[in-house]
A and B are shown apart, each in its own frame.
Chain A
Amino acid sequence: MRGGAVAFSKKFCWLIRSEIQSIGYPRMSASGESSTTMHRLLHASGSHPIPPPDDPKCFRNLLQSKHSICYKLQHHSLTENIKLLRQISSCGLISSSVQKSVQVLSTACTSLDQLTHLYGSTGQYVPVSSGYFVSHLITRDLVTLATDQLRSKLVLARAYNSTLFPPAEKEIGRRIKGVKMEIVRRNRASSPGSAEGVAVSTIPLYRSAPAIEVRLEDFELYAVHRLRVLKGISDGLSRGKKVNEMEKLVKELWKANMMQVEASEIDNKDVISHFVLRLVYCREEELRKWFLSMESTLFRYRFQLETPEAQRALLVEFDLPYKAVSSAEYESIKDKLNQVVRSTGQSLSTVGLFPSLCMKVPFEQVPDLVASRRVFLLKGYAYVATNQVVSLLTTQYRSYLSKALVLTNRKWTSMIREQEKDRLTPIIEALSTSYLGPDYSQPKEFAEITLKDIDQLREDHHLKHGGRMQLGLFLKGVGLNLDDALAFWKAEFSRKVGAERFDKEYAYSIRHNYGKEGKRTDYTPYSCQKIISSTPGVGDHHGCPYRHFSEENLRAALGKMGVASRALEEVIDKVRNRHYQLACTLTFEAIHGESCDVGINHPNQYYSDSRKILDSKVILEWLFPTYSFLISYSLLVRWYTEFALFALLFFNGWRSVSSMQLLDTDLYLKIFNASYLCYIFHL
């Protein structure tokens, strides 16, 4: 790997397609070889699905002549060929000469290609070229992130850790004649920490990539474990947990997911999983944002959980260019500092302000403290107390990570994605979506969360931009197509602003939502977390009702939705404790009388779950629940005629119309009449 001028040869492994399907993407064994000067055992799959071949001897003989393989492949039946290739792949290819083995194997592969051609698609085997080790990929990626000093150190002489080979396979390897194995036990001293001189603290700063080799299984598994931690943090944040609750949560999450048997493995796992996820989450702006804020939060709480010594060590490692405030300066601003402390609700005695413990930093370095007015600002400098230093470090960490993510992204789009097309790319692409919850960019079905918006729209025939975005995207997720959306908004807005002005001023943003204007992003509906964390201003009507409504307004709204008084109290209680999404889940359960285990994470999820329940009720009781629900719904939002028709189509679904054909006209008429009555009644 020195100098990077290594010609990697293509090797192949074989996959059973059913396995691909069962896990969603190929899980494969890594095999390949590195420099021509190094002859190594390269097969590195610990838990290979295919058992070792029964007769290694026979296999060895096979390997000695490529002709024999070719011959056999060409003249055997398909099943026999498959068996043969299975043996090759499961045992790993071992040869005294790398070139030779490559030749043999590639011949075999060509043969298989031919075979596939001959027999048509067998539907069972998919050839996968694996150009590189996972580790090579990681190191290659990370080399670019790392400093130049690391680049020079990156000599991939270290082969796999012996633990990578299950005993059985090692045995096979030894038994094969002419194999020169270089199983170099990994030098513990050159673990990633010390390579960068970061070993002091227990929180790595992920400055550079680890020069370790990773099994594909671990590559994925570690990443999933870390993702669980990050997802837990994200859930905690969206439930509005307080600082001490979050601290506990992070501690538990970390313990549950990131612990390994061996101590050294913990560090490795931490570093590896971070870098894998960096690759996973570097690819889009939204993903980067999420990853960045979750990783920074993780860092913040891990730092707070550290011992003071470790914290100090980290502080030194960050090498902040800021000095403590001089005592003369401190005296001059003492009153103001005390005032800030009191304004944050702490008492002076617990904080204990001392000049030596107060740092003067440019305000840009502590945006979170500035935003929440927890520091004193003077002439562009923020006076940061010791117990706030974590904010400073988090900012530093965040900005470093942000830059690194952009770099990784560049690397990803320019090289890795293509090179790892058949191996890592599917894993990486699957990882990011597997954990972002259900995908609401596909048209589905309505939720209660936007009722207030709709209400407001009906009353005023106008909504400000934020509300338009939230409701518009929600309706899009529900399955409203562009033309219908335009018609819907126009019908509402034109009563106040006139059709002409609507076309001019508002139609653009609706088309924008659908990715037809501007930067042409196809926006997805806002998730609960995004809505909860938004801050609607004066005159805005959007936002999460649980978070942004006053208690009275929320009670009224829930009452209108038919939430019983006891359930209502529970909901209000959750809201008081700032568990907005739990409150929403409770409301859901109260309305539908069924439990919702996963909780509500997305307005569109609320809708689709509602619909699911309603669907089952339609099957059970046919007409009545839907009918009454629709009427209450139309009453609730004063949606009258057009809404009822609209809702009919959605609630019964385009697809189930045929099954309801007998009742269709009847239902249609009834609803039409009912909503017409509502219409008159309300006018």
Chain B
Amino acid sequence: MNDYLNQVAQQFISIAPNADFWTLRLTSEAHESLSVRQGVMQPVYNHLARGALLTVVNGDGSGYAATSDLSADGLKQAVRLASDWARQSSAMGLLKARDYPRADARACYETPVKQHWHELPLNEKVALLQDANRALKIHDSIVDWSANLGYGCDDVVFISSAGAYIEQRFHYIHPGLSAVANQGSQTQYRSGGGANSARQGGLEQLKLLDFPAAAPVLAEEAVALLSAEECPQGVMDLVLAPSQMVLQIHESIGHPLELDRILGDERNYAGTSFVTRDMFGSYRYGSELLNVTYDPGHREQLASYAFDDEGSLAQREYIIRKGILERPLGGATSQARTGMQGVANARQAVWYRPPIDRMANLNVEPGDSSVEEMIASIEHGVYMESNRSWSIDDSRNKFQFGCELGRLIENGELKGLVRNPNYRGISATFWLNLAAVGNEASFKVQGVTNCGKGEPNQSIYVGHASPACHFRDVEVFGGAK
């Protein structure tokens, strides 16, 4: 798939260390970013990276070395450095040799692409962005507006001393639109068309992400929000669009269920979890309507892959079924540490960081309610879309989220816009108030591109797909008084 990486892999096998076990993950990344802001083409930005992360297990110890020097000498040096750390961690390590997975799979995987990035010439991409940009500038109160489009191709070759040889190629497409409206000291912002929600695939994904068609609507909404009422305050019904469900799932289901957090690895940085190991199998996380899966099967979703970065096979699993917590988000190492079943989610964000437990594709499965039925069942509430603000405690329990746009719901009907919509709650009780789950018609594949975690820090792509959902008795409020 990638001749250069395969050549390096073969070379490494010929000089492989005399260790109990080793893995080598080789990466080649090529990214291109285009943006037009206020009618001005911004500098084209390209990014090329190649690197290797070598992990050596000796005795009860493990060490890693990351290097961009993929020559034989460079890799030999990496072997020496990783072995040094394995030696020290053997005497002072938290994990034992039995905790390290011994991947041996051989496979190839590539993101399906219908229209490749390079099929559209650069000047035509620029023209597309210029058109989208013009469509955002609909009014004098639009003070900043931009359209962007990016592409990434990541090749990964993973090999191990147990015989693993896994080649994967991922194609990412990153469109986005944004409009800023202002009047005096009131500023409102709308984003869409794939902003903060990239996908795997090719240019065929643009239409599915409403790029660039969403441009005029986003601009109109930004302008309208300037004169909209503040979001009402009180305990009321709340309907979250998929564009906000992304964050709700991410922060109050995904993070608390990461097994490394439950094991305490993240206590100094990303935090712990209100979930404990004894809760799996019996704990009621949400209402009967809540079904959550780890699902690598949506191949256009951001974190779809065939194998994770420890070489474990990715397979769809229920995480929460009919509201009951079933299994954590833990890769093979975490599974070995706990004896629990998990999923294939040990992931590296970049070539120079070691794998840790991450969310991958974590989705709320569709229910049987249409959005119209949800709205019709609500006497007084708010509909919110597009995350703008997120904050949650270190055990992922007390949260407060804000959205770009809200709409009043009164007597079963959607009414006018409200601005600065926020809501707060507690994860442990919020999902119990899930009153309706949207059907396939409102189910959208989205994700986030900046999930931060780990020491050293890693920012990674995560996929979240969800329909719209209806929650009861939520504390809702607007901007500062």
Q: Decide if A and B are genuine partners.
A: no
Q: Which residues of A contact B (CB under 8 A)?
A: none
**Interface residue ranges, B against A (CB under 8 Å):** none
